[in-house]
Amino acid sequence: MLTLEGVQTYYGNIEALKGIDLEVQQGEIVTIIGANGAGKSTTLMTICGLPRAAEGRIRFEQYDITRMPTHEIVQLGIAQSPEGRRIFPRMTVLENLQMGASKSNPDFFEQDLAHVQELFPILKKRENQRGGTLSGGEQQMLAIARALMSRPRLLLLDEPSLGLAPLVVRQIFEVIEQINREDDVTVLLVEQNAFHALKLAHRGYVMVNGRITLSGAGDELLDMPEVRAAYLEGG
């Protein structure tokens, strides 16, 4: 469904991605784990064209999206819940969700709204509250829900567990699994919380310094000693 071949991305002179090869199949949950600064967020942003890949190719289904403007990429059915959530703080929860739906058919709005409110019931309670006044977990749920409002076929999630209590993390991961299973949404999940991410994902990639160093099935990676040493024990 999504393939990256030899993707290199620069911030000015800094080479943040040094040739990434990565593949996501329809219906999978794939995770990218790695330390801070490894280039995980850059990978997700490059898929959306922000910044653009300097070298390599990115394909989504039958389209070559390497040079496509961001808003067109998104309209193909890719949605992102970006790092730091980036909800609209002065707009209400409902308005945030409306923004997510702004490129999809308005006829679906009420139905989609009901669906995300079922996934995250707290968003219904907070409906008319400003985004900036939500708790961290609620903001994360809003960010995911907002991305879902565009009816994506591929959902990119950047560290949804960051800074959240274990209970909330569990709830969010359950929802990720549910939308993958029931709504047939393919998920590319970036996480530092390697244990949970690898448990959840079908496959995973390990990223170090702008390169993919390991890949394999989720439980395979979990068993590898180098992964255990670097990302699980004591971390």
Partner 1 sequence: MSEVQTRPRVEIAALLKESVVAALVALGLTVVMVGMKTVDQPGGLGLEYRWNWVAAAVASVFIGRFLFALWRETRPRHAAERGPSRQQRMLTSGGDFIRKFGLWFSLFALGFAIAMPFLGGPFSTRYFIDVATYVTIYIMLGWGLNIVVGLAGLLDLGYVAFYAVGAYAYALLSTHFGLSFWVVLPLAGMMAASFGMMLGFPVLRLRGDYLAIVTLGFGEIIRIILLNWYELTGGPDGISGIPRPSFFGLDFSRRVPENGDTFHTFFGLDYSSMHRIIFLYYLILALALITNWFTLRVRKLPIGRAWEALREDEIACRSLGINPTNTKLTAFSIGAMFGGFAGSFFATRQGFISPESFTFIESAVILAIVVLGGLGSQIGVVVASVVLIGGTELFRGLEEYRMLTFGALMVAIMVWKPRGLFSFRRPTVILEGKKIVGSQAGEGSG
Ligand X SMILES: Nc1ncnc2c1ncn2[C@@H]1O[C@H](COP(=O)(O)OP(=O)(O)O)[C@@H](O)[C@H]1O
The phi and psi torsions of 169 (rounded to 5 degrees) equal: -60, -45
Nearest to 177 by CA among 29, 24, 2, 25: 29
10 Å CB burial of residue 40 (0-12, 13-18, 19+) is: buried
Cα–Cα distance for residue pair 225/98, rounded to 1 Å = 45
Q: Return the number of the residue (30 or 48) whose C-beta is nearest partner 1.
A: 48
Q: Which one of partner 1, Mg ion, ligand X, none interacts with residue 34, CB within 5 to 8 A by kind?
A: ligand X
CB hemisphere CA count around 134 (13 angstroms)? 29
Segment near partner 1 (CB under 8 A); pick from 3-11, 60-68, 73-81, 187-195? 73-81
Binding mask 207-226 for partner 1 (x = CB under 8 A): --------------------
Size of the site for ligand X (CB under 6 A): 11
Q: Is 134 in the site for ligand X (CB under 6 A)?
A: no
- Report yes or no: 216 and 195 within 8 Å, Cβ to Cβ: no
Binding mask 34-53 for ligand X (x = CB under 6 A): x-xxxxxxx-----------
Determine which residue in the list 146, 157, 194, 201 makes contact with partner 1, applying CB under 8 A: 146
Give the pairing type, strands 211-217 and 14-24. unpaired
Two structure tokens written together for 60: 């989504």
Interface with ligand X (CB under 6 A):
11, 14, 16, 34, 36-42
Q: Write out the residues near partner 1 by the rule CB under 8 A.
A: 48, 50, 69-71, 74-75, 79-80, 82, 86-92, 94-95, 98-100, 102-103, 110, 127-128, 130, 132-133, 146-147, 150
